A and B are shown apart, each in its own frame.
Chain A
């Protein structure tokens, strides 16, 4: 799939019981969309760091939004209902939305979970790829998403604009 370089419009239900749209985040100087899910061990390995990023950058208006698009019929652990449970268990500080039709995943050009898309204030894609360079937190040397957020907040280009996302495949409907 080809990654699109502007944030796609969306209107999706969240685990907070509300419908969320791209426009809702218009005031955020940086928006990070993350293709995600409940069951993938790569997501589970990284979600704590994603949560920490949201908590750290909340004061500066940065919004992280995770989106699950996986086929919940084939992967019941990724159902909308299980998303509620997982959000509570993991104490997510960010919005977690359900893309049942998979249209947003297609619009993003997602292939993996987790897969990150960092957009600047004009919603231009400034970084696409992995959260950082190791699923083992103790071995991380480069914080791709953090660096991209900082760069976007400063109105600059990030040092790295693209990496290969590492994770489970998006579970497409057949």
Chain B
């Protein structure tokens, strides 16, 4: 399984998101490494089709497909959660679904 974790240092949510991702991976006994990549420029964001920080892809598929095709941006990513809530990180449920 390929697990990509893309982030931009300017958004403070990436440590929390990576911690949650690792937790979900551990719970499922998945020991594939997380490929961490820092996005450092707008050119980087364009080249990586990076819609915001953090972006997590499992075998190339975004854990939040609804937000995957937003324009490349050096910004915090918006994750829409059930109950009309908004979060700067994906939910545990989104990560679990992406890994199942």
Residues of A within 8 A of B (CB): 39-42, 44-45, 75, 135-136, 166-169, 171
Question: A168 — nearest CB in chain B belongs to which residue?
Answer: B76
Kindly provide the distance from the CB of B22 to the nearest chain A CB, expressed in whole angstroms: 20
Chain B, interface SS category: loop
Can you list 29 contacts pairing A with B, beta carbon distance less than 8 Å? Answer: A39-B75, A39-B76, A39-B78, A40-B75, A40-B76, A41-B13, A41-B77, A41-B78, A41-B79, A41-B86, A41-B88, A42-B88, A44-B86, A45-B85, A45-B86, A45-B88, A75-B73, A75-B75, A135-B87, A136-B85, A136-B87, A166-B12, A167-B12, A168-B12, A168-B75, A168-B76, A169-B10, A169-B11, A171-B75
Which of chain A's residues have a CB closer than 8 A to the CB of B75? 39-40, 75, 168, 171
Interface hits, B86-100 → A, CB 8 Å: 86-88
Contact B78 A44 (CB under 8 A): yes
**Interface membership of chain B positions 32-72, coded 1 if the CB is closer than 8 angstroms to chain A and 0 otherwise:** 00000000000000000000000000000000000000000
Contact A41 B76 (CB under 8 A): yes
Extra contacts, 4 of them, besides A40-B75, A168-B12 (Cβ < 8 A), are A39-B75, A45-B88, A168-B10, A168-B11
CA distance A12 to B87 in the complex (A): 30
For the A-B complex, the count of residue pairs with Cβ-Cβ distances under 8 Å equals 37
Contact A41 B87 (CB under 8 A): yes
**Interface membership of chain B positions 1-29, coded 1 if the CB is closer than 8 angstroms to chain A and 0 otherwise:** 00000000011110000000000000000
Question: B9 — nearest CB in chain A belongs to which residue?
Answer: A169
Contact B11 A45 (CB under 8 A): no
Kindly provide the distance from the CB of A10 to the nearest chain B CB, expressed in whole angstroms: 25
CA distance A135 to B85 in the complex (A): 10
Kindly provide the distance from the CB of B78 to the nearest chain A CB, expressed in whole angstroms: 4
Which of chain B's residues have a CB closer than 8 A to the CB of A40? 75-76
Kindly provide the distance from the CB of A89 to the nearest chain B CB, expressed in whole angstroms: 12
Which of chain B's residues have a CB closer than 8 A to the CB of A39? 75-76, 78
Contact A45 B87 (CB under 8 A): yes
CA distance A75 to B12 in the complex (A): 18
Which of chain A's residues have a CB closer than 8 A to the CB of B11? 168-169
Question: B85 — nearest CB in chain A belongs to which residue?
Answer: A45
CA distance A41 to B11 in the complex (A): 10
Kindly provide the distance from the CB of B91 to the nearest chain A CB, expressed in whole angstroms: 11
Question: A171 — nearest CB in chain B belongs to which residue?
Answer: B75
